[in-house]
A and B are shown apart, each in its own frame.
Chain A
Amino acid sequence: MSFLVGENLVGGYGGADILRGCTIEVNEGEIAVIVGPNGAGKSTAMKALLGMLDLREGEVRFRDRNLSSLTPQRRIAEGIAFVPQTQNVFTSMTVYENLEMGAFLRDDQIDETVEQVYELFPILAQKRDQLAGELSGGQRQQVAVARALMSRPSVLMLDEPTAGVSPIVMDELFDRILEVRATGVAILMVEQNARQALDIADRGYVLVMGENRHTDSGSALLADPVVRRSFLGG
């Protein structure tokens, strides 16, 4: 049995189908990475898991429960958190308020989670009273991930978390994501930096034209000469 799975997903945003039967799956304490060329439907597959587009076929199951009829909000309440690629922080609110918004659906004390998040991203503790819009790109990404973690999700979905940040920040962000995995969270990422992402992935999906082209462990995909030549630039 799998933790979160989208099976035989077919659908798009009204026009032609973007997803054409792909299957994506992620388990607890595991990092799954979706890579592939532009327009392969990577982000769309993730949005399908979250319920942000109408599927014509296939279903999304979470803990063996069919989520297909639930709105994105309901799925978030179920323990799935999502970090969009852009506009993923509340720019006019402070770092701390961003964290509070991440915990919006919780009605217990959030102080402990805040401390954990500060431990993971120490810079946020320093900048807690600063507006998120005034932070650098890398710091903003940290706020975005931290906001998502505040709901104590069991699945964390990240849409290109390292887009537009420097290589150093990228490495650091991947280190943090590994630490999050260690707490037992299932992590699903869409990544442009395919090499580095597959390097930390337990499970890798190469998506082409909305279909699964290659599926294997991250290291196996990195070692596969066909995948290397076609998708990783040699």
Chain B
Amino acid sequence: MEVLGDITSAVVLLLNFIVVPGLSYGSQLALGALGITLVFGILRFANFAHGDTMAFGTMIVILVTWWLQAQGINLGPLPTALLALPAGILLTVVLLVVTDRLVYRHYRRQKSAPVTFMIASIGVMFVTNGVVRFVIGPNDQRFLDGERFILRARDFKASTGLAEGLSIKVSQGLTIVIAVLLVAALFWFLQKTRTGKAMRAYSDNEDLALLSGVDPDRVVLVTWTIAAILATIAGTLYGLDKSFKPFTYLQLLLPMFAAAIVGGIGNPIGAILGGYVIAFSEVMVTYAYKKVFIYLLPQGLEPEGLVQLLSTDYKFAVSFVILVLVLLVRPTGLLRGKVL
């Protein structure tokens, strides 16, 4: 009986510290990677500004959230930020469309090589980053309100009588639910609607799509709109779950690109798969397993160290290693994507 209890405790530990955080972080990465992969598949370049697009969208959401809070408007148990999302999305669409007009359209007309677009996107990244720091500052911003937990560790322990608790934050639950809904909507759009099919056709074979009468300007516009929606929502969910800091969003670029490439860049399903692969690898490699072993191993055999493969400071190394491995072994990604 005690053995069973120990095993259950170990499982709850893993659920609490690996599965739940992995699922929510994975969902955030998946949404980010989806934006990157869509832009890559349709506009044909690696958009380095995507992390800062997320930061911009989140910044707008935070400002509007603060304004709503000042007006005394809130969503009760849910974060007020959800109410501010439409405004954030709208302004981010404007940002991306204006950027496209000012920067990328010029290179499209020149029929520039993808690497030119990529370098241009790095410039856009710096400018966007500068705007965000200028407006909201480089520091941490908290904008989470409402209920904090769906399930508290204390309540879980009390109701199950287990030694270990399981907690699920509202932000984590929201992340997973919203990610599922958003991905379902995106796939419905791409598979079933006329515009979605035109986008897939344009991504598959640009010349033939033009020969079929697809309007390239419209495809570009819709792609940026979707990228803005995905970036703002991903950024806001990440900010609610952890915290908002412009520099963190710049750093997110690496795991998001890793996710897109691991899954097969240009392939939306791959981006989602890649998001979870990266997130779970990061969480699993940086978790200290000592307590799990204490539950599972006979007394006297428990490990002395933390049993942590990598310090959390090195978590970006995980994305990087996976990225390098995939590019070496399977450059098209896990699901068949394009080769960079």
Binding site for B on A (CB under 8 A): 72-73, 76-77, 82, 84, 87-93, 97, 100-102, 104-105, 147, 151
Which residue of A87, A97, A100, A102 contacts B205 across the interface (Cβ within 8 Å)?
A87
Is B209 interfacial (CB-CB < 8 Å)?
yes
Is B213 interfacial (CB-CB < 8 Å)?
yes
Interface residue ranges of B202-256 to A (CB < 8 Å): 203-205, 207-215
21 A-B residue contacts at CB 8 Å?
A76-B211, A82-B211, A87-B205, A87-B207, A89-B208, A90-B201, A90-B204, A90-B205, A91-B204, A93-B201, A97-B197, A100-B197, A101-B198, A101-B208, A101-B214, A104-B194, A104-B201, A104-B212, A104-B214, A105-B213, A147-B212
Please tell me the number of chain B residues within 8 Å of chain A, measured between CB atoms: 17
Which residue of A72, A84, A93, A147 contacts B204 across the interface (Cβ within 8 Å)?
A93
Which residues of B have CB within 8 Å of A73?
210, 213, 215
How far is the CB of A46 from the nearest CB of chain B, in Å?
Answer: 12
Contact B200 A84 (CB under 8 A): no
Binding site for A on B (CB under 8 A): 194, 197-198, 200-201, 203-205, 207-215
Contact B213 A104 (CB under 8 A): yes
Which residues of A have CB within 8 Å of B209?
90, 101
Interchain CA distance A168-B200 in the complex, whole Å: 33
How far is the CB of B196 from the nearest CB of chain A, in Å?
Answer: 11
How far is the CB of B110 from the nearest CB of chain A, in Å?
Answer: 14
Which residues of A have CB within 8 Å of B198?
101, 104
Which residue of A88, A97, A105, A151 contacts B208 across the interface (Cβ within 8 Å)?
A88
Interchain CA distance A97-B203 in the complex, whole Å: 14
Contact A92 B200, CB 8 Å, known A87-B205, A87-B208: yes
Interchain CA distance A170-B208 in the complex, whole Å: 23
Contact A84 B208 (CB under 8 A): yes
Which residues of A have CB within 8 Å of B213?
73, 76-77, 104-105, 151
Contact A84 B197 (CB under 8 A): no
Can you add 20 more A-B contacts, CB < 8 Å, to A104-B198, A105-B212?
A72-B211, A73-B213, A76-B211, A77-B213, A84-B208, A90-B204, A90-B208, A91-B204, A92-B200, A97-B197, A97-B200, A97-B201, A100-B197, A101-B209, A101-B214, A104-B194, A104-B201, A104-B213, A147-B212, A151-B213
How far is the CB of B188 from the nearest CB of chain A, in Å?
Answer: 15
